[in-house]
Structure 1
Amino acid sequence: MVEFQTLEIPEFPKLTHNITWFARALRKAGLPIGSGRVIAAIEAVRVAGFSKREDFFWTLHACFVSRPEHRAVFAQIFRLYWRDPKFLEHMMAMLMPAVGGVQEERAANAGAKRAAEALLDGVQREIPDVPEQEGSEIEIDSSLTTSTEERLRTLDFEQMNTEEVAAAKRMLARLKLPVQPILSRRSKMDAMGRHADWRRTMRQAMRQGGDLQKLARKSPRIRWPNLIILCDISGSMSHYSRMVLHFLHAVANQKGAGWAKVYGFTFGTQLTNISRHIATRDVDAALAAAGSEAQDWEGGTRIGDCLHAFNRDWSRRVMGQGAVVLLITDGLDRGEPSQLGQAMRRLHLSSRRLIWLNPLLRWDGFLPKAQGIRTMLPEVDSFRAGHSIATLEQLAKEISRPDDVGEKHRLMAALGE
């Protein structure tokens, strides 16, 4: 465990100003902080004291953080504002465009990017002067000159800042996930039907003394499948899960899409049914209630245990005949591979189609090297990416195609090598 050093805090008036400015940066980064919380934080620091950095961190954390998804942003802004004297240089580096053809080896995570924009609000950012060398040219990232909406379609959810996340949520609310009806073996009376209904024809003839006057016809009944979404909310998936849940809410409250019912479940270390929450019309209220219901946000991953719990407790209630299952997870399981494989086989047999959305497919050359992915992949019908709006739009186009397999064939071939 890291030993925290004594924190040097200026006199109380300066501390009050710093906490207020810190709260303003958090609010800019998306945390719902009002003046009441700022006053409570100042009073809490006065009562608790600030002899240790750890005490100071958790005191402010208790006052300002109310949702699991805000922990990463709070920790990033706290580290840069209260601990790192050169936070401005770090933030400028995160937001600086690529110069001289040198690209970032690793993109900044979502928490760091939102923290950078919050702390540098109003700061003028300029492209640094680079000495021109023979045979070289300066390349400037021109993504800001393209259409914002078009760029957001292909932008990774994890790399979006606060404004981009808000815009992406509005785009997700407009997405549709239509489904084709399923032809049942049951039939209904239809004067223009393609098949003759001999039973009804004979009953009508018996009413007329055996005189066959008209040939009754019939057509197959149609039924609409249920949509089941199993969403991983572990630490590695939390940001993608929040965006997918916005998409799920739009699908659940969409009229005329064709789904009989939409059920939502989250899992990390335990399985949580959030179906009644996503049926709420207000998306913010729905996701807030779902977040409070699921107690394992940003925790570990027990995919096999959670799928076993779904098969045991919920499968017969919600699957029905012809249900389509969307499994959103990166497949990085910490449980026993044998139990995971058995749970996946049971889930596959119970569903009409099992579609796996994995954000790890955003990486070029992705291969199923993790044991969990190798165990789950043979048991799905389709394996697709799920890290951007464009991938969800592609899912909407392909979800009704029984021959769609996504990247499964390519990765199964890699497994055989």
Structure 2
Amino acid sequence: SATRPAPDPSREVPHEIPLRLAWSPTEVLRTKDFEEMTPVEVIQAKEAIRSLKLDLRPVLTRRREPDPSGRFIDLRRTLRTSVRTGGCPLPLERESTRTRRPTIVALCDISGSMESYSRILLHFFHALTNAADRVHTFVFGTRLTNITRLLRDRDVDRALARIGTTVQDWYGGTRIGASLQAFNLHWSRRLLAQGAVVLLVTDGLDREGGDGIRAQARRLRKSCRSLIWLNPLLRYRAFAPRAAGIKALLPEVDEHRPVHNLDSLAELADTLSGRGGRGAGRRARLG
């Protein structure tokens, strides 16, 4: 299909629309599909996303650090200290495993079938980027574009306006396999080396019939700590993996989760923050 003009966030809705529900979304707003929201509700949803608590859960690394109550004995430091004390008594220097916030990499489909979801999800990734220091975001339709630097602007409207003019393939077709291949070739080694969590946001509808998706998704999965597929099509109870792209992706991901309303984003935020279980969890605060 023909590529449509880049979105202009400032023209989505009039500025004078009130935001009474922005910080305390009702149950209706929480569960309403992004695709079915009115312009007023879209604004309210974006404001609610800004209030999500996005404190990423620390993960263990391979490195250790001095810790008087640590479970491990630091033999090297113990021997150095024993030399200074003459070995009597022999002080045991302890250490524990160092933790750090995980690297998050988001790959977001901005093709035509994802239009109603990608424009709101970019607000989520903006909030995530400004809440943590190891978040990298890419968008793709027919090509892959790194928008991480643009999302670091704390003014969300300015950030998205700049993204709108920088990205050239809004709301056209989707080349999932080629986009994953581009990431694997040019970005995987530098971003995934320390066990990143990858969020792949797509409905799996691929204009190339799924060509190359399975091989590239498998390569991506082997390079990261966890590959989570966020799919708005899971909003349908009768969802079935019929499209070639969906069939190719499913065996290669660790989790397959819905992402179509505020509740699904809140559950994702809970999972990333360690407040929820695998694949589900308590709802994050939206107000």
In structure 2, distance between residues paired with 1:164 and 1:223: 36
Q: Secondary structure at the match of 1:228?
A: strand
AA partner of residue 188 (structure 1):
E
Cα deviation, 1:49-78, whole Å, max 9, x if unaligned, reads xxxxxxxxxxxxxxxxx95347xxx9xxxx
Indicate the residue corresponding to 2:285 in structure 1.
Answer: none
In structure 2, distance between residues paired with 1:403 and 1:390: 15
Indicate the residue corresponding to 1:199 in structure 2.
Answer: 76
Indicate the residue corresponding to 2:213 in structure 1.
Answer: 340
Contact 1:381 1:405 (8 Å CA) reproduced? no
Q: Secondary structure at the match of 2:246?
A: helix
Measured after TM superposition, the shift of residue 260 of structure 1 is: 3.9
Measured after TM superposition, the shift of residue 319 of structure 1 is: 1.9
Indicate the residue corresponding to 1:68 in structure 2.
Answer: 6
In structure 2, distance between residues paired with 1:206 and 1:156: 67
Aligned pair partner of 1:397 in 270, 277, 281: 270
Matched, 1:237 2:110: no
Bigger radius of gyration? 1
In structure 2, distance between residues paired with 1:163 and 1:67: 22
* Bigger mean CA deviation after superposition, 356-365 or 329-338: 329-338
In structure 2, distance between residues paired with 1:239 and 1:309: 25
Measured after TM superposition, the shift of residue 247 of structure 1 is: 0.7
Equivalences for 1:84-163 in 2 at 5 Å?
149-163=26-40
Aligned pair partner of 1:211 in 81, 85, 88: 88
Residues 279 and 306 (structure 1 numbering): CA distance in 2 closer, same or farther, change over 3 Å? same
Cα deviation, 1:109-155, whole Å, max 9, x if unaligned, reads xx9xx8xxxxxxxxxxxxxxxxxxxxxxxxxxxxxxxx962211111
Q: Secondary structure at the match of 1:236?
A: helix
Contact 2:200 2:228 (8 Å CA) reproduced? yes
Contact 1:69 1:239 (8 Å CA) reproduced? no
Q: Secondary structure at the match of 1:348?
A: helix
Indicate the residue corresponding to 1:275 in structure 2.
Answer: 148
AA partner of residue 159 (structure 1):
E
Indicate the residue corresponding to 1:288 in structure 2.
Answer: 161
Q: Secondary structure at the match of 2:242?
A: coil
Indicate the residue corresponding to 1:36 in structure 2.
Answer: none
AA partner of residue 106 (structure 2):
I
Structure 2 unaligned runs (5+)?
Answer: 14-23, 281-287
In structure 2, distance between residues paired with 1:245 and 1:261: 16
Cα deviation, 1:234-278, whole Å, max 9, x if unaligned, reads 000022001000011111112xxxx44111100000111100110
Structure 1 unaligned runs (5+)?
Answer: 1-65, 75-110, 115-146, 407-417
Contact 2:6 2:168 (8 Å CA) reproduced? no
Q: Secondary structure at the match of 2:239?
A: coil
Indicate the residue corresponding to 2:176 in structure 1.
Answer: 303
In structure 1, distance between residues paired with 2:220 and 2:254: 11
AA partner of residue 210 (structure 2):
P
Higher RCO structure, 1 or 2 (CA under 8 Å, sep 6+) = 2
Q: TM-score, normalised by structure 2?
A: 0.86
Indicate the residue corresponding to 2:20 in structure 1.
Answer: none
AA partner of residue 396 (structure 1):
A
Indicate the residue corresponding to 2:224 in structure 1.
Answer: 351
Contact 2:234 2:258 (8 Å CA) reproduced? yes
Measured after TM superposition, the shift of residue 374 of structure 1 is: 0.5
AA partner of residue 228 (structure 1):
V
Residues 222 and 271 (structure 1 numbering): CA distance in 2 closer, same or farther, change over 3 Å? same
Q: Secondary structure at the match of 1:346?
A: helix
Measured after TM superposition, the shift of residue 405 of structure 1 is: 4.6
In structure 2, distance between residues paired with 1:191 and 1:327: 41
Report the number of matched residues.
267
Indicate the residue corresponding to 1:143 in structure 2.
Answer: none
Contact 1:344 1:376 (8 Å CA) reproduced? yes
Aligned pair partner of 1:169 in 46, 59, 73: 46
* Bigger mean CA deviation after superposition, 368-377 or 332-341: 332-341
Q: Secondary structure at the match of 2:168?
A: coil
In structure 2, distance between residues paired with 1:349 and 1:250: 28
